[in-house]
Chain A
Amino acid sequence: MRRAYHVARADFLQRVRSRRLIVVLAIVAFFGYLVNVGQIELAYQIGDGDSLKNIQGTNTAAFVGLKAGMTGSMVLLFAGFYLMKGTLNRDRVHDVDRLVASTAVPNRTYLLGKWVSNIGLGVVVLVTLALATVINHAVHGVGPTKPLALVGPVFVLALPLSALVGAVALLFETVDRLSGTLGNIGYFFLATFALAGLQSAEGRLPSELPFWVKSVDIMGHLAVYTLTADALLAVVPDASGILPSFGTLSGETQMFRYDGRPWPLWIYIQRAGLLLPAVITILVATIPFTRRPSDTGSEDSRWLSRLTTLLPAVGHSTDTNEDTSDRVPVDSMSLTNVEKRETWNFWRLVAAETRLTVRGQQWWWYIGAAAFVVAPVSILVGAGASTRSLELARRVLLPLAFVWPIFIWSELGVRVTKHRVADLVLSSNHPVKQLVAEWFAGVIVAAGVSSGLLTLFALSNQTGTLVGIASGVLFAPSLAVAMGMWSRSSWLFEMSYLLVWYIGPLNGATPMDFIGTTAGSVESGVPIVFTGLSVILLGAGLARRTIELRR
C-alpha cells in the first residue's frame, strides 16, 4: 500500500501544480455561483400546451445542496473523464514509466495508485464546488446557510462517481485503441447512454422504483427525486412520476420549497455501490496494461497511410544512392549553396501540413472517409436525388460526416507542442502563417470528407444546406485551433465539439445546429452565426501564437 500511496502522491502533486487545473477549478467555482443564482436549475418539467412549465425549488440550503450535488456529478461524468485521463500518458511523456517498469511495483499497485490520484483530482474539484456553493449561498441563497446541507450532497452524490469515472479513464488509457480520440468519442457516448436507464423510472413514484432501476442511477437523479417528491407533490399533486431535469432551463416557473429531510439508507448504499464497478474496472485494466508500450504504429495502417504520400511533395530528393551504407567522407562532400531563402510559398506549406494532418490514422478511418464521399454520389447516380434521399443525407450522413474528421481536427493547434516541434516552428520564417496553413489543412480535410455531400446538395439546389456545410467546414477546424492552442491538449476541443455536435446537428437543437441539418437552423441564420464565430476562434488561435512569439 505504501507503494500505491507514493505512486498516487507523486501523480497528484504533478497534477495540482499545473496551470490547467487552476482554470478548471475557476470554472467549477463559477458553477458554484450559477447553482445559487438559478442559472443552473433543477426542476420538474410539466407539459403545458405547447410549452413546458418548470416546477423548481426555492434556493434553500437543502435544495441548493442537491443542485450542487447534481452539478458535481455532471461535471465529473462528462468532463471528469477528460480531466483524469492522461495519468499514464504523463508518465510516458516524462519517461517515468521506464523508471517504474524497472522496479518491482506490481501492475495492480501502480494502477491502484493512479486510480487514487484520479479520485484525488475529483475530490479537489468537489471541494472547490462545495466551497463556492457555501460562499455563494451566503450571498445569494434563501434562508440560513447550512454548510452540511450544502456540502453533503456534493460528496454523497458525486464522490462515488468520481471513483467510477477515474477507473474508466484509467481503463481507456490502458487499451491502446481507446487511449486517443476514439476513446474520447466513445466515452462521450458511453456517458450519454449511461443516463438512458433513467427512462425506466418515468411514471413511477419513488416508493415504486425497483432496485435495479435505482442501482443504475449514475448521477443521482433518483436520489433527488426521492428526496424532493413530497415537497413537489404538495404544490403540484399531479406531478407524480416525473423525473427532475437538470441544466439551464427556460419557460414558465412555479416554486416549491424543500428544506431537507433524512436521506433514505438506500441512497448511501447505491452511491457506495458505484465503487464495485470501479474496482472491477481497475482489475480489468490490469489485463491490457503494458508498462512500456511499443512506440511503433500498427502494421495494418501502414499501407493506407502510404496513400497520403500521393499528396504533392514539397521538394523531392533526386539522390538515388539509397542502397549503400558506406559513409561518405565529410571532407569530400560538396554541398549546394542556398542562394534564396525567401521563396516561401503558403500553398506548399498547406500541402505539407495537409499531408502531415492525414498521416498516421487507422485503416478504418480512411475507409470511412471514402465512404462519406462515395455514398452521396451513389445516391445521385443511383435512385436520383429524391426528397426522401436528400432528407436522409441531411439528417444522417451530414452529421456523421462532421464528426468523422474529429480524429484529424483534434491534432490542430496541439501537434507542434505534442511532438516538441514548437521551437522549430517559432524560429521559422513565418510562424503565424504556419498556424494558418495548419488550420487550412483542417478545412481541406473537412471539405474533402463532405465533398460528396456538397456535390449532392449543390446539384439538388439545396443552397441552405450548402451554407451549413460551409459553416461546418470552417467552424470545426477553427474551434480545434483555438482550443488546441490555448489548452495545449486535444481533450477540450473533443469534449466541447462533441457536445455542440450532439446537441445541434445530431439532436436537431436549432441554436447549435451549425451545419444546417434542420430547416429552422438555416432559416434563422445559425450557420452564418457559426461562420462568424469561426473567424473569432481562428483569431483567438492566432493571437495565442503571437503571444508565444513574445514569451
Chain B
Amino acid sequence: MKLSVEDLGKQYGEDTWGIRDISLELDVGIHGLLGPNGAGKSTLMGILSTVIKPTTGTAYWNGTDIIESPEVVRSVLGYLPQEFGAYPDLTLEEFLEYVAALRGLDKETASARIGEMITLTNLRDVRDRKIKTFSGGMRQRVGIAQALLNDPDLLIVDEPTVGLDPEERVRLRSALANTATDRIVLLSTHIVPDVEATANKLAVLENGQLVTHETVDHFIQRVSERVYECLVPRSDVPQLREQYQVCSTVQRSDGVKVRLIAETRPIETAEQVPATLEDAYLDTVDHPAEV
C-alpha cells in the first residue's frame, strides 16, 4: 500500500501557487502534515482526495496515476475536509446511510459499520436526532464517523480535532492510532501535540513547498541538545527573542520562564531540556532546512 506524489503543484493565479514541486512517498502509518496557515496543507489534501486537480505533477496509488484514474483512490478513500458539512434535516444515522451509499458499501456492511462508527465517535445518544441540532464538536465527530465509515485504505483528515473537547481529542487520537496499523492516514492539523501523540512520520509544508518528510523521532533529533529553559526578568525577554528562537514563555511571580532553542547555553542559569516536536517544528518553519 503506497501513495506517492511527484512534483505536484497547484497554481491559483498568475503568480500564486497553493503548492509547488512537492514529491513524497507515504506508506502504511500515520503521516502528520504540519505547516503555518496558507502553507498548502488543504490544497495537498484536496488533490490527494481527488477533489482538486493539480496544475503540475501527479500522484500514484499503488502505482496507478490517480489524476488520470481518480476512481482508483476514491473507492478506498475516507475524507474529512476542513469545511465539513452535512445535511441538517437528516438524522445522524440517515446521513451515514447516505454516505454509505455514496461510498459503495453493501447494506449489511453499511449497517454494521454505521453502528460501530456511532459508538466509536460516542454519538449513540443522538443517532436519531437531526444533525441541525448538533453542537460544533458533535458535527466534527459526524465528520470523523463518515470518514472512517468505509474502512478506508487511505484516510485523509483535515483538522479533525478542531472543536473537540480534550477527552474526545484523546479518544480520536487512539482511534486513529488503532486504525492506522494497516492503512495510510494523512493527518493535517495545527495542534502539534496531536501529531506527536499519533504520527509515525511527519511532513512539514511552508509557502507551498515541502520542507521535510521524515520520522517524528528524526525530526525531533534536529533540535536535541539545543533546547533550554531559563528564568529571566521580564525585561530580558525581548532581547532573548531577538537572539534565539523562543518556543514558549510562562509568566511567573519571580520572572518569566523562557523555553528557547540555542546552539550553546544562552545564559549561565539556563538548563538543557528534552526537545519536543513543537520545538523542532518552530525551529524548522522559521529556518527551513534543506531537503
A-side interface residues toward B, CB under 8 Å?
295-297, 305, 309, 313-319, 321-325, 327-328, 330-331, 333, 335-345, 348-349, 352, 355-356, 359-360, 415, 419-430, 434, 549-551
Within 8 A of A (CB), among B61-76: 70-71, 74-76
- A159 → chain B closest CB, angstroms: 37
B93 within 8 A of A: yes
Residues of B with C-beta under 8 A to A305: 89
Closest A residue to B170 by CB, please name it: A330
Contact between B52 and A551 (Cβ–Cβ < 8 Å)?
yes
Kindly state the separation between the CA atoms of A333 and B115 in the bound complex, as whole angstroms: 12
Chain B at the A interface: SS class: helix
Least CB separation from B88: chain A residue: A419
Residues of A within 8 A of B87 (CB): 356, 359, 415, 419, 421
- Taking the closest CB of chain A, its distance from the CB of B8, in whole angstroms, is 16
| Cα distance A430–B179 in the bound complex, in angstroms | 25
Smallest distance from the beta carbon of A307 to chain B beta carbons, Å?
13
Contact present for A424 and B81 (CB under 8 Å) = yes
**A422 surroundings in chain B (CB, below 8 A):** 51
With A342-B75, A421-B87, A428-B103 as given contacts, are A318 and B115 in contact (CB-CB < 8 Å)?
yes
What are 15 A-to-B residue pairs whose CB atoms are below 8 Å?
A296-B133, A315-B109, A327-B122, A333-B119, A335-B113, A338-B113, A344-B104, A348-B101, A348-B107, A356-B98, A419-B86, A428-B74, A429-B104, A434-B102, A551-B53
Size class of B's contact patch? 35 or more
Task: Using A314-B101, A315-B105 as known contacts, say yes or no to A331 and B53 having CB atoms under 8 A apart.
Answer: no
Identify the B interface with A (CB < 8 A).
46, 49-53, 70-71, 74-77, 79, 81, 83-90, 93-94, 97-116, 118-120, 122, 124-125, 127-128, 130, 132-133, 146, 150-151, 171, 174-175, 178-179
A268 CA to B225 CA, complexed, in Å? 83
Which A residue's beta carbon lies closest to that of B91?
A: A309
| Smallest CB separation, B102 vs chain A (Å) | 4
Q: How far apart are the CA atoms of A324 and B115 in the complex, in Å?
A: 14
Whether B100 contacts A314 by the Cβ 8 Å rule is yes
A419 to B106, CA, bound (A): 25
Separation in Å of the B51 CB from the closest CB of chain A?
Answer: 5
Distance, CA A355 to CA B175, complexed state (A): 32
Contact in complex: B90, A359 (CB < 8 Å): yes
Complex Cα distance A388/B133, Å?
Answer: 50
Q: Given known contacts A322-B125, A421-B87, A423-B51, is B104 in contact with A335 (CB within 8 Å)?
A: no
- Complex interface: chain B residues within 8 A of A331 (CB): 174, 178
Bound-state CA distance A424–B106 (Å) is: 19
Say whether A330 contacts B51, CB under 8 Å. no
Q: Note all chain B residues with C-beta closer than 8 A to A337.
A: 151
For the complex with contacts A313-B94, A319-B115, 13 further pairs of A-B residues with Cβ separation under 8 Å are A316-B111, A317-B112, A317-B127, A319-B114, A323-B125, A330-B175, A330-B178, A335-B151, A336-B116, A348-B101, A423-B81, A423-B83, A423-B84
Asked if B124 and A330 make an inter-chain contact with CB atoms under 8 angstroms apart, the answer reads no
Bound form: Cα–Cα A434–B114 in Å: 21
Q: Check B50 against A317 for contact (C-beta < 8 Å).
A: no
A359 vs B289: C-alpha distance when bound (angstroms): 54
Smallest Cβ-Cβ distance to B122: which chain A residue: A327
Check B171 against A338 for contact (C-beta < 8 Å).
no
Question: Nearest-CB distance from A303 to chain B (Å)?
Answer: 13
Residues of B within 8 A of A549 (CB): 50, 53, 70
